Amino acid sequence: MQPTETFFSGFTSNDLWFLGEAALRTLWISLLAISCGSLIGTIFGWMLSVSRIGHYALAPVLDIFRSVPLIIQLVLFYNFAPMIGLRLDAFGAGLIVLILYTSANVAYVARGGIEAVSQSMRRAARSLGMTYWQDMRYVVWPIGLRAVFPAWVGVALGVMKDSALVSVLGYIELLKASQILITRTQETILILAIAGAFYFALSYPISLFASRLEERWHQ
Amino acid sequence: MIEIRGLHKSFGDLQVLKGIDLNVENGEVLSIIGASGSGKSTLLYCINGLEPIQQGQVLVDDIDVHAGATDLNTVRQNLGMVFQQWNSFPHLTVLENVALAPRIVRKFSKADALEIAEKQLRHVGLGDKLTNYPSALSGGQQQRLAIARALAMEPNYMLFDEATSALDPELVGEVLDTMQLLAEEGMTMICVTHEMGFAREVSDRVAFFHQGVIDEINPPEELFTAPKSEHLQKFLAKVK
Amino acid sequence: MFKALPDLLQAALLTLEVAALSMILGVLIGLGLSLIRIHMKGPLMWLATVWVELARNTPALLQLFFFGFGLGAFGIHFSPYVIVLMGLTFNNAGYLAENFRGGFGAVPDTQIRAARSLGMTAFQTYTRIIIPQVLRIVYYPMTNQMVWAVLMSSLGMLVGFRELSGETQFFASRTFRIFEYFAVTAVIYYIIVKIILVISRLLAMRLFRY
């Protein structure tokens, strides 16, 4: 009986703290990936919409990030980086992959946003003497953003949930931390439930907020 | 003055304008009538460069609109356009809608832009709607908003592309009244329209478009009472 | 490495099988969940909502772990295949239910009124008028969900399921040629997804000829 008692110990408040820290790390890598990825993705989205060449050149490349499982991308990149002389830890590799993944998805959302603004509306702006970029900044951006905001929130929340996969590279975010605790305490359901609650608490209010905003804007 | 010489315009293989020669003097109100698809709206888009042309010249105050060196954005400041779908900016209030272009295009200060905007909105009768959003306005009011927005840029010329065609019948009058007011104030206007009453009473000349050319152009008294062209006679018989 | 290719392709079929099954089940359950949420009140509606919101607001991997290790803690053990199937179905049902709910909401009530005033029964109205229109609206999201299911099945590799990713992991860890094996697998996934999208587009052209 003795060996079992030394291997497994109960779930303590320290462990809750451990999970909390890991949740912050989930949040941290997610926020970085979402912000950089959205910025780059918006540029890609513009490139997709602005010309046929842009579309045919860029779309297949972006599709790679959307057609290969994230876990494969992570493992691949993590093993590829040393081959080109990049020394990356789990966080670095995971972050880069997440940024590229986010940007590919945001690109299509952004393109949708740009195309949501009717040609007629843009002609009205140009006929007032606005330059192409003024039209983009004062007309397309605000209208397009409102049109695709829910979709963008969906992508952002998806990235936050997918950040759990960076755990396979060893990055100790929330899910990895849960696994470590489960191995030690054997309180599988409890820990998974707590981890689930963390994710839920991050994701659900935001998606609710986004749909409320969408309703309000549609007046 | 707007001068159009030998204008040809195609969309791919489809030739829409097959040689337009037209002069519009300052202060003139020109109405353009004709069947759908005869190229009327396209002509307006060629005047302010929203559409490229294949052949010919468009001169606005002696500036060649389609010359490579011309800055279209500058030319457009002088040409106000009102579209069939008013295209009010939904994310801005009525006042902001009108003040935007003066501020960012003509580089007026925010205060000056707001002042001009308010002046033009009162001009078209929307002085009490300044803080509303366009979604709270009727179609006729949004169209008048579009007119005020174009006027705020202080253009010499106003182009109206079927400004009343998308409106419910009871809202058409308020827009036509506004257009008539501008005409009486001496604005140079080119109006593509289906409103024969407006064309007859307010214009100095009426141009009848048929299949990409100006079939007949005359003052309204002659054009409507004594049409010379056969196509025009058929057209007028149909719209009666 | 090319000797491993047949095994990889075999595993890819397993991937497709589990993804397709989870989609079929997901559609059926998702349809049920969405109809419950639209038409019913009370504990059943509440349960359906909990399912949908849990599925959509937590990571798929976490859901998979629940079905694998979570149930395992209760002494209920399933094969990796079934674990992945359950996890994917749970996830799919949640997302599809939300898609369907939006689809139903997008068909105007006037359609129902028109059908009923022509004398159609509720059942006829639903099957001949409403559902075809809903299908059109949710078709693209459903295609996306199918692609998603194929991509998510790769998580099976973390619970011991030898689908495409799991099989790749097996070979890679034995030969330490991690990059090469996973690169090939990435290409296989890319091709699979492209094929799914092409089939979907062709199917759409035949289904939605109006």
Which domains, and CATH codes, for chain A? 13-218 (1.10.3720.10)
User: What's the rounded mean pLDDT across residues A122-147?
Assistant: 93
Distance from the Cα of residue C206 to its chain's centroid:
22
CA distance B121 to B129: 9
Which chain C residue has its CA at the smallest distance from A167's CA?
A: C61
Element (H, E) at A167: none
Residue B168: φ, ψ to 5°: -60, 145
Distance from the Cα of residue C98 to its chain's centroid:
13
pLDDT at C73: 80
Is the CB of residue A56 less than 8 Å away from at least one CB of chain B? no
Which chain B residue has its CA at the smallest distance from A138's CA?
A: B100
C178/A73 CB distance under 8 A? no
CA distance B75 to C47: 63
pLDDT digits (tens, 9 = 90+) for B143-153: 999 999 999 99
Tell me how far CA of residue B176 lies from CA of B140, B170, C174, in angstroms. 10, 11, 81
Work out the burial of residue B177: count CB atoms within 10 Å of its CB; fewer than 13 is exposed, 13-18 middle, 19 or more buried. middle
A124/B101 CB distance under 8 A? no
B105/A139 CB distance under 8 A? no
A200/C147 CB distance under 8 A? no
Residue A153 is encoded by which pair of tokens?
A: 């929130």
Cβ atoms C166, C116 nearer than 8 A: no
Cβ atoms C186, C3 nearer than 8 A: no
Look at residue C199 and tell me whether its pLDDT is greater than 80: yes
Confidence tier at A4 by pLDDT (50, 70, 90): very low
Confidence tier at A68 by pLDDT (50, 70, 90): very high
Confidence tier at C1 by pLDDT (50, 70, 90): low
CA distance A130 to A29: 39
Residue B215 is encoded by which pair of tokens?
A: 């079939």
Look at residue B116 and tell me whether its pLDDT is greater than 90: yes
HEC assignment per residue over A5-21: HHHCCCCCHHHHHHHHH
Strand blocks (E) in chain C: none
Is the CB of residue A146 less than 8 Å away from at least one CB of chain B? yes
CA distance C122 to B118: 56
pLDDT at C210: 56
Of A79, A80, A175, the CB nearest to C62: A175
CA distance C156 to C15: 9
A204/C158 CB distance under 8 A? no
CA distance C74 to chain A (A): 9
Which chain C residue has its CA at the smallest distance from A194's CA?
A: C62
Residue A89 is encoded by which pair of tokens?
A: 């830890």
CA distance B43 to B32: 10
Confidence tier at B95 by pLDDT (50, 70, 90): very high
CA distance A93 to A101: 12
* B26 contacts: CB under 8 Å, gap ≥ 6: B1, B156, B188
Q: Measuring CA to CA, which residue among B153, B157, B175 is closest to residue B166?
A: B175
pLDDT at B180: 94
Cβ atoms C55, C94 nearer than 8 A: yes
Confidence tier at C40 by pLDDT (50, 70, 90): confident
Is the CB of residue B224 less than 8 Å away from at least one CB of chain A? no
Which chain C residue has its CA at the smallest distance from A201's CA?
A: C57
Cβ atoms A18, A181 nearer than 8 A: yes
Of A63, A79, A161, the CB nearest to C58: A161
User: What's the rounded mean pLDDT across residues B57-82?
Assistant: 92
C151/A67 CB distance under 8 A? yes
Cβ atoms A163, A26 nearer than 8 A: yes
Residue B136 is encoded by which pair of tokens?
A: 């709270």
Confidence tier at A8 by pLDDT (50, 70, 90): low
Q: Measuring CA to CA, which residue among C138, C85, C148, C203 is closest to residue A67?
A: C148
A167 contacts in chain C (CB < 8 Å)? 61
Is the CB of residue A157 less than 8 Å away from at least one CB of chain C? yes
Contact of chains B and A by CB distance (3 or more pairs under 8 angstroms): yes
Look at residue A184 and tell me whether its pLDDT is greater than 70: yes
User: What's the rounded mean pLDDT across residues A47-52?
Assistant: 88
CA-atom Rg of chain A in angstroms: 22
The number of beta carbons lying within 10 Å of the beta carbon of residue A159 is: 23
Q: Which amino acid is at C36?
A: I
User: What's the rounded mean pLDDT across residues A129-137?
Assistant: 94
Look at residue A219 and tell me whether its pLDDT is greater than 60: no
